[in-house]
Amino acid sequence: MVQLDDLDRAILRLLKEDARLTISEIAERLNRPESTVHFRIKKLQERGIIDRYTIVLGEALRPKAVALVYIQVETPIIEDFLEKYINHIMKTLSILPNVLAVARSTKDSLVALVGEENEEKLNKFIDETIRVLPTLKRVEVIPLTELVKGGDVIGFLVRV
């Protein structure tokens, strides 16, 4: 369904590294004419393969302590309530600036990626904002001490 040839992939890889490369620079590196590179990029954008261009923020603005928080809620008698309650928690967490990402997991659980300046503040946040939520069955905190792959994902997620 998604047809990409070597040139498309090469262009995407270069833009992923540095989206500010000029068409002429890309053309030179790949030994292709500028007009071709321009045409390909235009198509990649139109096809939605390039979704958007963005910046990654540097260390200075990234939280130093991050953790995944797995939240499982108590299963009520009425299942419809569970759905609404989980959605409510997710929306509530999403608003907070130190909640970098929120994802639904199973029927009765969700995960949040949280960040703070340091460990103490992070734990304080988890204790005072998450653990206090009513009718939780389980809260599992998975600290992330070192990012090996996807190392700058925090710089991508953090807001200013």
Partner DNA sequence: TATGAAAGACATCATGT
Partner DNA sequence: ACATGATGTCTTTCATA
Residues at the site binding its own copies, with contacts judged by CB under 8 A = 1-2, 4, 8-9, 12-13, 15-20, 47-61, 68, 70, 90-91, 93-94, 99-106, 109, 111, 113, 142-150, 152-153, 155-157, 159-160
Q: Give the residue among 109, 111, 107 at the shortest CA–CA distance from 73.
A: 109
Amino acid making up residue 147 = L
Minimal distance, residue 17 CB to its own copies, in Å: 7
What is the torsion angle, in degrees rounded to the nearest 10, for the CA atoms of residue 27, residue 31, residue 37 and residue 38?
40
- Identify which of residues 31 and 54 has a Cβ nearer to its own copies in the complex: 54
The option from DNA, its own copies, none interacting with 91 (CB < 5 to 8 A, set by class) reads its own copies
Residue 113 one-letter amino acid = L
Distance, in Å, from the CA atom of 145 to the CA atom of 95, rounded to the nearest integer, reads: 24
Please identify, using beta-carbon distances, which residue of 17 and 80 lies nearer to its own copies: 17
Binding site for DNA (CB under 7 A): 7, 22-25, 32-36, 38-43
* Torsion-angle region of 48 (φ positive above 0: left; ψ -120 to 50: alpha; else: beta): left
